[in-house]
Every structure is written in structure tokens, then in C-alpha cells.
Amino acid sequence: MSSLLPHERERSSIERITWVVDGRAVPVTPETRWTATALAYGGYDRFTMEVPAKAVRHAGQGAPVVGYRANGDVLWRGRLSTDPVLEDSGAVTLRATGPRALLDNNYGQLFYCELGASEWVVADSDPFHYNVSVKMETQTKGSRMGWVLDKNQTYANGNVSSFVRWIPGQDIQKISFTVRKSGTLNNWEYVLWVGEGPNPATEERTWTVSSHSDGEVITDNLSTPYDCVRLGLRCTQDATTHAQNEKIWVQDLQLWGLGIKAPTTGLVAARVAADLNLDGTDIAGHSTVELDGFHWQDGSYADLMDYLSMIEDWRWSVLNPTVRRGDERLVFEPWGHRPLRVVVGEGNLDTQEFFNRVVVRYESSRGVPVDVVVNAPPQHDPLARYGVVNSLYYDLGSDVRPDQKLARLVAARLLEQALTPRATGSIAAQSVVSSHGPQSPYGLCAGDVVKLTTRYDLAPQRVMGIAYTEEGVELEIGEELDVTRLLARRAMKVASRGRA
């Protein structure tokens, strides 16, 4: 604990910050008001400051803004989001955003492997307009799509019905599916066409249906990668009939893009860094959670990093404020990566409830509702002595993976948080103590894990957000688990869209 007296701790919390806009230091007086914020998920966020007009006549939208601590470390870094705004008082207001905005404003597509058939469409739909035989009923559900052959129909050589998947700008390199059929089905073949969308007209490969048994897996590496494929069923003999209604479909449909079916969270984060020309050396290499069938196609890169953080229960940011270098880089690391700090401060915290049971619900590839239940071990269950079961429910949506791996991983992550003594609220940090002795609160960062002297009954808590001002530092502690769950659900559904 700090040896400083209370009034000495209060004075020590006010550190002079030097602000530099477009390469020039901005005059700061005791009347100057400024606020710089940062988030555990994203890093530097927003900055506002009111200064005399003449102090920033040289600066405009896009100009770099950097706040330096007394020891030379970077407190905050970003760029002006607008030209300086002239106020009625004659002063101007500076508004800036941090480099997190780079991920907020970029929407990319990472196509590793797509599972399921929900994004496939019948080939006569817009914008493809291929002929589809009216004699063949088409069906899709989950990871399956297929055809129904009516016993009352007579089929001719060349009758065909097909489905199309177009992933604009992405190279489809491989297709795989499982054959499912109700009978031998002579005189029929699967056909694969490829091409640049929306015109997959080149016949790539055929497979005779009768030559492949029910449950057999068919895989084909495309001779040339294209962004559009068409898979169909075609009759090969005139006057083909069936004694009963027959069903033939493909199941566990998979398309490969970047050549990796199950990339790790760290590999995906590194790809984000590379796509945005960020330094990725601060992405922890031991991130090994596999994302089976991962295809990110909607949402910003910030949404993607939020999703990866939820899966790993890690944090991410752009730029590390404790390193004195100007490179913009992506950080993806476990909570508590920096040394634990003890914070002396004042504020209001609300204790959060414990959950000793997590139920993750999803719909399987065959449309069957599934509940994955994880219970707290008795030795770690704070509610066991009262015989209370408090369940946390989480809806994963649809999951076309063949196992429960993702659902169980999400359940385990949620249960770990649910069993930890948690609180939410804000703390005005007056002083900080680490293993190296007393420190300035301005050395705290969003994403730190801190011990609060105001609540010794709590485990170390996560700093979800931080606001630096000319008067001191305020911390946002913890997050309500229900809010975490809802945000995770949104990110999960964005990430899995097109695979349900």
C-alpha cells in the first residue's frame, strides 16, 4: 500500500499532459478543459479539447493528435475527426477519434471456409436466371440442399435443377459435400459449374449419383479458383421414371476459400492487421481456439475483433499506450497481460449476481434444437451451500458445425465469468500502487485488471473504459453479464451469418 498521505496522493494524481496537434504543442492553461477516452475493446476512442482559436489555425480534419505524459509515454493518440469548431466564446473545440476508428470504418470479408447451404439460392433467381426444371422440387435447410423427384413425372436427358453460391471477390478453391439419397437413382448425376459471378457457366466436374453410396463424401479442388459455383442434379437418360417419390440431397456442404477450414482466433486477428497495414507483432501467438468453418462477411473489422475477444475472452486495441513508438499496431492479448495494480479511489459500484449454471441453446444443422448445459463444479459454486441453481441462458442461434465444440466453448467462457465476484460502476482514481511502488493514475489503461481498495471483497476487476481529463482519471469497472451476453450474441450472429 502507498506510503503517501491522502493529500499527497490527491496531488500526485494530477499529471501535466502535453498535447500536440499536427506537430505543434497546444498551449494548456489551468482553465483548459479536455477529455480523452479509451476502451478495453478497441483502445483509444474519443478526444475533445477547447483551446484559443489561434492555437490551432494550422490544423484541420485528419491532423494527428497526441497526448504525452510527463515521462514521454503516449497517453492518447488519434486524428482530428473534423476541422476545429469555432464556438460563440471565440475559442475552438477540437474533436478527434482514435485509431480504433480504422476498424470501425472498414468492412472486410474473410472467407476461410463456409459451412451450410443457407446462402445458396436456386439458379433461376436474380441475378443468375439459369433454367431450372419445374419437374424437380428444390429444398434447402441448414447444411442441406436437394431435390425431390416425383413418381408421376417422366424426366428427359438434360433436365436439370441447380443452386448457386456467389461470394463476390473471393476465391472459392474447394467444395465438399456428403451424398444423401433415398434409393439407387440411376440416370442422374451431380454437376458442378464454375465461373466469375454471376455467370458460373463452365462445367467443372460431374459425379454419377448411382456410383456414390448414401453417406459418401465427395470433395473437389477447383482447377481454377472462381468466386461463383453452381451445383446441380441432371438427368442423363430420356424417359427416366421412378416407382416412388425419391429424394436426393447434399449434406454438410462446405466451401473453402483461404485454404484453412478452422483458423485460430490469433490467425484471423493477424489477417485483420495485415489487411489494414497494422503491425501485428503484438498479437499473442498462443491464441489457438479454432474457428471451424469461419466466414466473416458482414460487419466491421471492429465487430470481428469483438467477436474474437468474446470467443477467447481476451481484449484488443490499436496501439499500446505504454510503448514509445509511432507504429499503429493491433494488440490482441489476454486480460491481465499487464501487471496488477491497486487503485485508491472513490466511486459507486454495483455487485453483480452469480450464475452457477449456463445453458447455451442453438439449432443444429438438421434443424434440431440443442441445449448445451455446463454446471459449476461444487467446489467452485458459491451458491451450492444454499442449494440454489441460478441459470444464465444464451441463444447461439444456428450452428452448422458437426459437433458441439463452439457451444461448449462459449458456455465455459460464460461460466468462468459468472462465477467470478464482479461489480460494475465508475471509480475516480486518486492514486495507484503496483509492485514498483506508487504510480500516477494516468499510467492506467483500458484493459487493465485492478484491485480496488474500496471493495476488498472483490476479485481483481477489469477496466472496461477509461476517461483521462485535466482533473484526473475515471475508470469504468466491469460489465453486466447480461450486456456481455447480448453483445456476444450480436457478434456471434454477424460472424455466423450465411452458415445457418
In a domain, 143, yes or no: yes
Rg (CA), the chain: 29
Q: Which of 256, 283, 300 is the last residue of a domain?
A: 256
Asked, for residue 235, whether it belongs to a domain, the answer is yes
Q: What is the per-residue pLDDT across 411-461, written as a single tens digit (0 to 9) for each?
A: 898 899 899 888 899 999 988 988 888 989 999 999 999 999 877 678 899
Averaged over 353-359, what is the pLDDT? 94
Q: How far apart are CA 388 and CA 372, in angstroms?
A: 20
Residue 410: is its pLDDT beyond 50?
Answer: yes
| pLDDT confidence band for 11 (50 / 70 / 90) | very low
CA distance 200 to 231: 10
| Pairing verdict, β 41-52 and 34-39 | antiparallel
Residue 191 lies in a domain: yes
pLDDT of res. 491: 43
Helix (H, G, I), strand (E, B) or coil at 322: coil
Domain identity same for 138 and 249: yes
Q: Assess whether pLDDT exceeds 50 at residue 4.
A: no
Q: What is the dihedral of CA 212, 215, 216, 222, to 10 degrees?
A: 100
Residue 495 has pLDDT above 70, yes or no: no
Domain total of the chain = 2
Cell of 90: 471565440
Q: What is the mean pLDDT of residues 168-173?
A: 94
Alpha carbon 453 to its chain centroid, in Å, reads 34
- Cα dihedral across residues 330, 336, 341, 344: positive or negative: positive
Sign of the CA dihedral running 276, 278, 281, 286? negative
CA distance 88 to 482: 43
Gap between the Cα atoms of 96 and 49, Å rounded = 9
Domain final position from 377, 402, 421: 421
Does residue 324 lie in a domain region? no
Domain-embedded: residue 265 = no
Which three cell numbers mark 261?
477450414
Residue whose entry in the numeric block shows the C-alpha cell 423427384: 149
Integer CA distances (angstroms), 252 to 188, 206, 247, 341, 383, in order:
21, 19, 16, 49, 42
Q: Check residue 325 and give its pLDDT.
A: 46
pLDDT of 359 reads: 93
Reported confidence tier of residue 5, pLDDT bands at 50, 70, 90: very low
Indicate if 244 and 358 belong to the same structural domain: no
- Does 249 lie in the same domain as 119? yes
| pLDDT value of position 365 | 62
Kindly compute the dihedral angle of the four CA atoms of residues 172, 178, 183, 186, in this order, to the nearest 10 degrees.
40
Average pLDDT, the chain: 86
225 falls within a domain: yes
Query: How far is it, in rounded angstroms, from Cα 160 to Cα 136?
Result: 8
Q: Answer yes or no: is 386 within a domain.
A: yes
Query: Using one digit for the tens of pLDDT, what is the confidence trace for 239-293?
Result: 999 999 999 999 989 999 987 778 889 999 999 999 998 988 878 667 778 888 8
383: containing domain: 353-421
Provide the residue type at 333 as one letter: E
* In-domain check, residue 297: no
CATH number of 246's domain: 2.60.120.260
Residue 463: the pLDDT is: 95
What is the percent of the chain where pLDDT is above 90? 54
Distances (CA, A) of 153 to 184, 209, 238: 17, 19, 12
Ranked by mean pLDDT, the top range of 183-187, 284-288, 324-328, 378-382 is 378-382
| Domain boundary pick from 256, 282, 306 | 256
- For residue 74, the 8-state DSSP code is E
Q: What is the pTM of this model?
A: 0.83
239 & 117 share domain: yes
The answer to whether the CB of 172 falls within 8 A of the CB of 257 is: yes
CB 94 within 8 A of CB 65: yes
Is pLDDT of 125 > 70? yes
Distance CA 409, CA 318 (A): 26
